[in-house]
Amino acid sequence: MNIELMNNSSSQSKESLKVVLFTKETLTSDKNAKLYKKAGFKAAQDTNCFLYEKNILACGLEDMHNDNVRSTIATAIKTLKAANYKTANLNVQSSNTKAIIEGIILGGYEFNAYKSKPKKVKLKEIYLLCDDVKELKDSFEESIIIAEATCFTRDIVNTTPDDMNPPALAKLAKKLAKENKLECDILGNKELKKEKCEAMLAVGRASRHDTKLIHLAYKPANPKKIISLVGKGLTYDSGGLSLKPATSMVTMKMDKAGACAVLGIIKVVSELKLDIEVHAFVGAVENMLGGDAYKPDDVLKSRKGDTIEVRNTDAEGRLVLADVLDYAQDTVQSDYLFDFATLTGACMVALGQYTTGVMGHSNRLRHDISKASSKAGELTASLPFNKHLKKQLKSDIADICNISNKPYGGAITAGMFLDNFIKEENKDKWLHFDIAGSAYTESPWDVNVHGGTGAGVRFMSEFLKNIK
């Protein structure tokens, strides 16, 4: 569907549906208050009421906070898509333009690539009416770019593992680079061998698909900052020889969500033409079983030179990131280094399925991310490093073990494993984002429908566009 920003004075078809937002307080003073009362509509959050004879869809919300606006619009767009209206309109203000656009685009998202007969939707146009188009134009266009990049990210996450294997992900990255005028460099098995990325290569050894390290770069003239983004791109994770239970394997196409997020973020940055240089590094690997699969009890040598004792082949993402993080730091001297990964189920145990875990050494940087995520409408929470948990990664036969020797604090110990591969000069520039819970959902919530959510794209876009 098309979304258009228009002046209030623009003529609208009588057949166009009017969407109106109500709180309990504003509902009682509306001219149609008696009709709403008869219909049992009380303007509760995320509830709708159709007045078909008047072409009005009333949407309830607790208050006018953007989180509530975004959520109720996401509910409304589902109702609109099920109706027979071709056009709809609603009033917007500078304070809620972004929330309304995200509610429409993200709440109305569908992934129909594998449907033989996708449902047809009659709704074609949504008009956002305002007093001054010029005043809202920049915010409108920016919000569209970020929301569409989030959907782009969702599409990649939702693509099946047979269709989105490491070479396919590299091909998609090349396409994005061409469309958005980015630099692109792809390393395959041969090049990774030369780079001594033995930990990463071990994870993908049993796959019939080549492992890939993807590097995209957006380089404007005279950038004020340089940012490196690193994404875990496990296009499918069977668990390897430490095989996952059958029910846990069903959603493992989402194990590439960190990689998808960094592609979505660099798409936003290049389309907004931000004056920062951004590098996206993706470790695209498939963790499978076979006669050549890496094994528990193996000792791997990382690109950094540290040896890693493997005690669980399902703790594979951190092995991939160990090499990609080291490669990224040697390739680019950046001001900030962020990695995104569906790394641990333990993060969901700690924070629930809606919240991204944030780990790192810089209190200031974690605070800045918290502010950006709150403004962007994504949930993040900090998980603290501590020296006692670090001891649990000790190995008696290698430099470090790939899992903790105790079953507690698994998200933090995974983050501390990655910390081992962050150079001393980059410790305060780095943050790790565990999006294991927030990147995928099988139960719709807020603006998220079934499947990939695009976690990380909105809050990192908010952080980067305001970076100083």
Give the pLDDT mean for 297-302: 98
Please state, rounded to an integer, the average pLDDT across all residues of the chain.
Answer: 97
Rounded CA gap, 358 and 373, in Å? 11
What pLDDT digit, counting tens, does each position of 139-166 carry? 999 999 999 999 999 999 999 999 999 9
Whether 13 shows a pLDDT value over 60: the answer reads no
Domain spans in the chain, listed from the N-terminal domain onward? 2-131, 149-465
pLDDT band (50, 70, 90) for residue 43: very high
Q: What is the pLDDT of residue 303?
A: 98
CATH topology classification for 149-465: Aminopeptidase (3.40.630)
What pLDDT digit, counting tens, does each position of 61-105 carry? 999 999 999 999 999 999 999 999 999 999 999 999 999 999 999
Q: What is the pLDDT of residue 308?
A: 98
Superfamily of domain 2-131: Leucine Aminopeptidase, subunit E, domain 1 (3.40.220.10)
Q: Is the dihedral of CA 139, 141, 147, 149 positive or negative?
A: negative
Do 98 and 139 contact (CB within 8 A), yes or no? yes
Give the pLDDT mean for 379-405: 97
Q: How far is CA 129 from CA 86, 90, 144, 308, 403, in A?
A: 17, 6, 16, 59, 54
Other CB atoms within a 10 A radius of the CB of residue 114 amount to 10
Other CB atoms within a 10 A radius of the CB of residue 162 amount to 10
What pLDDT digit, counting tens, does each position of 99-145 carry? 999 999 999 999 999 999 998 999 999 999 999 999 999 999 999 99
∠ CA 392-395-401 to the nearest 5 degrees?
75
Residue 244 appears among annotated catalytic residues: yes
Q: Which of 98, 253, 267, 318 is catalytic?
A: 318
Rounded CA gap, 135 and 293, in Å? 58
Give the pLDDT mean for 428-440: 98
Residue 318 appears among annotated catalytic residues: yes
Q: What is the pLDDT of residue 14?
A: 59
As to burial, measured by CB atoms within 10 angstroms (0-12 exposed, 13-18 middle, 19+ buried), residue 354 is middle
Give the pLDDT mean for 435-442: 98
Pairing of strands 226-237, 17-22: unpaired
Whether 261 shows a pLDDT value over 60: the answer reads yes
N residues, the chain: 468
What pLDDT digit, counting tens, does each position of 176-230 carry? 999 999 999 999 999 999 999 999 999 999 999 999 999 999 999 999 999 999 9
Q: What is the pLDDT of residue 468?
A: 87
Q: Which of 196, 225, 244, 390 is catalytic?
A: 244
Whether 9 shows a pLDDT value over 80: the answer reads no
Do 389 and 404 contact (CB within 8 A), yes or no? yes
